[in-house]
Chains A and B, each alone.
Chain A
């Protein structure tokens, strides 16, 4: 039986560019290009390796605005077979509960599935909730920080690396794996795959018409989390001083002097 693998990816604002509104404490997303959550590319890579090794189909799912099509085209370019963009105004404003609920309902429609693969966490919220919550909604076992996976005699054998040890688990299918960030090298896009994404209109868009969820369970209305307050740490203005010499020792001395004289650093 070929594996049915589902990989979830999030379309996030590039937080390296994003600024924070000093008054409201929220991200200023306007005009900031979005990208695939970088850690989710590790999830895609793991899914594709599984497919290559054991045969199967990889489906990517993302709940996001329509602009995420670009991101799904990218993962199809990497080799993903099918892509579903869950996109509808009624899904907007979701916290992790509503997000995981919606994703789990979408995934249920893709039964029978074998392995669900998630990123470890996102760069814009980094709760690392979604994998665990989705698994709970679906009542499947899950494992986080996975670096490697094999599929032997119908059993998923997953390795995860913790600070001081390496653990190997066996899980039945279906199960959910959250991939450790940076645990593999995501492959580049291939021309033939990317052309297919571009020319064959392969991305399926699912609105709530397709998913059919109650309004009070999704989007802003289905989100009990309330952000009460955000405190922005003030940025320290640069002094624009520069050391112009060549000698490293002099540079270090200059730097230390500056820190002692100007910043009140004490050496004890």
Chain B
């Protein structure tokens, strides 16, 4: 074991995703000596997501965020669709204002890392952290191969597959039911085609979530986001359900979706230029470590389970970045007091509780449950489309809405159960 003795940092951050880089940026800006260790070739090279980020929390952290960040399009149009038998029932919302934007996460994350570097943080890529380094049970640095780098505090921002925390015994091994599998393709397409086909004005963005047939009726959802001259198309399926029910490779589900008329029209003559897959936490607070801090340790972003999947939207990047920001604030306070024990770092948990992150996660606790009720994905899309079909495809007589709904439900579920499910989700 060799100790790197001539360099000592105040803070070591593991992982240069949105969480890690935002913590680094905030700390470096306030004069602390920070190093970020990232196993990827560049910051952002190992992250993958769907495509849309909520802006406000980031604007609070980064000055001039709107001007400088690598934003592709501001989302002006939201779509949510049920898909069944190739037919779509879509709710569309067009807004004059917008609170979210599309971006490539690789570019956004590398922009954040660059901000951190400019503020004075040292970003070291190609380095995998193997373990936390402890002295008398207190985290005092990290181990990389046979080397130890010391610091006063370590911020774990390693993302959803938190092997370091597992080895440290802070969290149990990930279970299938705790995560979802996401995969996506980036499809190059002229800006004018994107805008023309989706009814967008120049520069405007669209976020589109689809459930039902779009994931092969598996719990989860498919997504389509517009970038400047590409489309991000992909899906997220709950791993456990997918594991039990799929008898083919998941990428076939995505290929099937691309063959559906409604999607085919949008991506016609586009060229796939990138594809990838990644896990995402799905248990909400159910997979967070009991404490998000320890002696000399703070846990942020996906590693802390801070992600909200509402079905019609995912909030991961803004939560991750903001939790990194709160961790940095905690460390600054601890630094001024000269103590990094778990008592002074517990301030992080307090900041989290008071922030929108925990409030949001608690408020929408029930959604995780509903997201897993199979009916939402297997039966309801069919019922809804059937009902709508009966309403709109008139030959001689037209049914009332209730008649149409009753008829479509027959033999599948009870009207009462359907209404109750809707009620308990949204109220």
Contact = CB atoms under 8 A, between A and B. Distances in A.
Interface of A: 33, 35, 70, 74, 77, 188-192, 194-195, 198-199, 240, 242, 244, 246
A244 B149 contact: no
A191 B255 contact: no
A188 B39 CA distance: 11
B147 A199 contact: no
B2 A192 contact: yes
Contacts of A194: 124-127
Interface string B251-280: 010010001000000000000000000000
23 contacts: A35-B41, A74-B126, A77-B126, A188-B126, A188-B145, A190-B144, A190-B147, A191-B4, A191-B124, A191-B127, A191-B144, A191-B145, A191-B147, A191-B149, A192-B4, A192-B147, A195-B4, A198-B123, A198-B124, A199-B122, A240-B259, A244-B248, A246-B247
B5 to A, nearest CB: 10
Given A190-B147, A244-B248, A195 B7 contact: yes
Contacts, number: 44
A121 B133 CA distance: 42
B4 A198 contact: no
A242 B37 CA distance: 43
A137 B35 CA distance: 44
Nearest to B35: A195
A77 B147 CA distance: 13
B211 to A, nearest CB: 23
B427 to A, nearest CB: 42
Given A190-B145, A195-B7, 12 more contacts: A189-B126, A190-B144, A191-B37, A191-B127, A192-B2, A194-B125, A194-B126, A195-B122, A198-B124, A199-B7, A199-B122, A246-B247
Contacts of A242: 252, 255
Contacts of B252: 242
A65 to B, nearest CB: 17
A27 B42 CA distance: 23
A135 to B, nearest CB: 31
A244 B259 CA distance: 15
Nearest to A199: B122
Contacts of B145: 188, 190-191
Contacts of A195: 4, 7, 35, 122, 124, 149
A17 to B, nearest CB: 8
A240 B147 CA distance: 50
Nearest to B143: A191
Nearest to A77: B126
A189 B38 CA distance: 12
A190 B122 CA distance: 15
Contacts of B7: 195, 199
Contacts of A198: 122-124
Interface string B120-159: 0011111100000000000000001101010000000000
Contacts of A199: 7, 122
Interface in B1-22: 2, 4, 7
Contacts of B41: 35
A194 B147 CA distance: 12
A188 B41 CA distance: 12
Contacts of A74: 126
B373 to A, nearest CB: 29
A196 to B, nearest CB: 9
Contact of A189 (B2, B42, B127, B248): B127
Contacts of A190: 144-145, 147
A187 to B, nearest CB: 10
A246 to B, nearest CB: 8
A74 B259 CA distance: 43
B164 to A, nearest CB: 15
A7 B401 CA distance: 77
A33 B4 CA distance: 32
A244 B249 CA distance: 10
A74 B42 CA distance: 11
Contacts of A77: 126
A240 B248 CA distance: 16
Contacts of A35: 41
A35 B41 CA distance: 10
A244 B4 CA distance: 55
Nearest to A74: B126
Nearest to B127: A191
Contacts of A244: 248
Contacts of B147: 190-192
Contacts of B123: 198
The winner among B7, B41, B42, B124 for most chain A CB atoms within 10 A is B124
Contacts of A240: 255, 259
A69 B41 CA distance: 13
